[in-house]
Amino acid sequence: MIVVKDVYKDWKEFKLQEINLEVKQGEYFVILGPTGAGKTLLLETIAGFYIPDRGKIWLEGREVTCVPAEKRGIGFIYQDYSLFPHMTVEQNILFGLRVQKAGAAEANRKRVLELMDWLNIAQLAHRYPGTLSGGEQQKVAIGRAIAIEPAILLLDEPLSALDQRTQDYMRDELKRVKDDFGITMMHVTHDQTEAMLLADRIAVMIRGRIVQVGTPQEIFNKPLNEELADFVGIENILSGVIRSNEQGIAEISVDSSTVVYAVSEFRDGAVKAFVRPENIILSTHMDQSSARNVMKGQIERIHEVGPLVRVRLDNGLVALITRQARDELSLQLGGEVFATFKATAVHVVRA
């Protein structure tokens, strides 16, 4: 369990500002933020490499704000794994045990062997880190960190330096670490997919502040403001005024000819309406569908992003559709389409 309360730290060129977090026992908690948001510094402060100017930190119910790193019982994994280059794989993993339980040499060795088996790296035992691939180094770093049986594992962009396939594999390994050892995980990343796939909960950090904490569902669909919406890839941000609200469905007038219906409690006033591009369906004729919102537009731009296709309309809407859908609808530049989305797919915040 990690509790961070009002933590403030000034590095002159950068500040951590009034950080408040609560990570539950056994939770996979991801701190998501753009590069330079201060995520690593926050993680290092929790690990005890820095002492905050103000505020307090508790780990497993114990206040550790000024406790040195070696007495916090945390595991730490850096983006580049930071393996000790002058030690073999086995010696790397053994390091923490050797330092903490010098007397139990035999038990320590046994534990290292078990861990290497568990990570499938027994064959690498006598190699030096410089000769290992990124994925292998990552496994050694995991082994080294969990050998000391930490209650908490802090991970700083652990997947960023890996190729796509290894990333997929290592994500599962990280989940396995959490599930098999019941370790509380705090993982820092700028990668939204990674956050979505791994996190029980996500905290979004921008410019040294935590701006929103929630489940992946909440973070990606219900951002608190326009900046967050933009950050999590909501490309459709409409400004409007609420005209009426009937049974929880707000009618938002976006411009003189456009009205958007959204599920919202707000009854009046200026608002922003967010719609994720993947929640917009394109069709070539007016369909009889349950979706409340239909907007007509001309296709301005089509481009492929991985397995999906991003379609931009002249009314400013952006939709993400599958390649198959594009082919079935035989979408062309300049073609006229109807963009439909449900009232539940619209997230409304005060402007």
Partner 1 sequence: MRFFSNWTWEQIKREKIFIFSLLLGTVLVAFVVITLGNMFYQQAEDLPGLIAVAVDPVVLRSIWISISMALAATLVAFIFGVPLAYFLARKNFWGKSIIEGIVDVPLMIPHIVAGIALYGVFMRYGVIGQPLRSLGIVVTDAYAGIVIAMLFMSLPYLVDTAREGFKDVDPRLENVARSLGASHWRTFREISFPLAFPSILSGAILTWGRAISEFSAVLVLAYHPISAPILIYEKFTSFGLRMSRPISVLLISICLVIFIVLRLPRWGKR
Which residues contact partner 1 by CB under 8 A?
Answer: 44, 47-49, 68-72, 74-76, 78, 80, 82, 84-86, 95-96, 99-100, 144-145, 148, 154
Asked if 170 and 194 count as a contact pair (C-beta separation under 8 A), the reply is no
**Torsion on CA atoms 188, 189, 193, 194, rounded to nearest 10:** -50
Q: Rounded to the nearest whole angstrom, what is the least distance from the CB of residue 65 to partner 1 in the complex? A: 16
How many Å apart are CA 221 and CA 214, to the nearest integer? 11
Q: Tell me whether residue 144 or residue 292 sits nearer to partner 1 (CB atom).
A: 144
Instruction: Kindly state the smallest distance separating residue 110's Cβ from partner 1, in Å.
Output: 18
Q: Which is nearer to partner 1, 68 or 233 (CB)?
A: 68
CA distance 262 to 331: 28
For the bound state, the minimum distance from the C-beta of residue 194 to partner 1, rounded and expressed in Å, comes to: 21
Nearest CB to partner 1, comparing residues 97 and 170: 97
**Cβ-based nearer residue to partner 1, 59 or 320:** 59
Kindly tell me which of 140 and 349 has the beta carbon lying closer to partner 1.
140
Distance in Å, CB of 142 to partner 1, minimum: 12
Task: Quote the least distance from Cβ 105 to partner 1, whole Å.
Answer: 16
Cα torsion angle, 96, 102, 105, 110, sign:
negative
